[in-house]
Amino acid sequence: MGKQTRPARPTRKQKEEMKAWKLVPENWLVVQDTASELVLVSKSGLKKRTIQRGA
C-alpha cells in the first residue's frame, strides 16, 4: 500500500482543468496530482474521479 495523502483544496490551475471536464470545483478535493493524472474525491466522500492529462 502506498502513502495516502490528505485531500486538499484545488489550486486555480486545477480548478480550470476540472471546469474543462465539466466538474464543479467547489464540490471536489484533490487527493493526488501527478504529471499524468489528477485524482479527485467529492466533498461528500462518495465519489472518486481521475482526470487523465496529456491525452
Identify whether 36 is part of a domain: yes
Identify whether 18 is part of a domain: yes
The pLDDT of residue 3: 65
Range of the domain at 36: 12-52
Tally the C-alpha atoms within 13 A of residue 9's C-alpha that lie toward its C-beta.
Answer: 3
- Which pTM was predicted? 0.84
| Tens digits of residue pLDDT in 11-48 | 999 999 999 999 999 999 999 999 999 999 999 988 99
Q: Yes or no: say if 38 and 30 are a contact pair by the CB < 8 Å rule.
A: yes
Contacts with 34 (C-beta within 8 Å, 6 or more apart), sequence order: none
- Number of compact structural domains in the chain: 1
Identify whether 2 is part of a domain: no
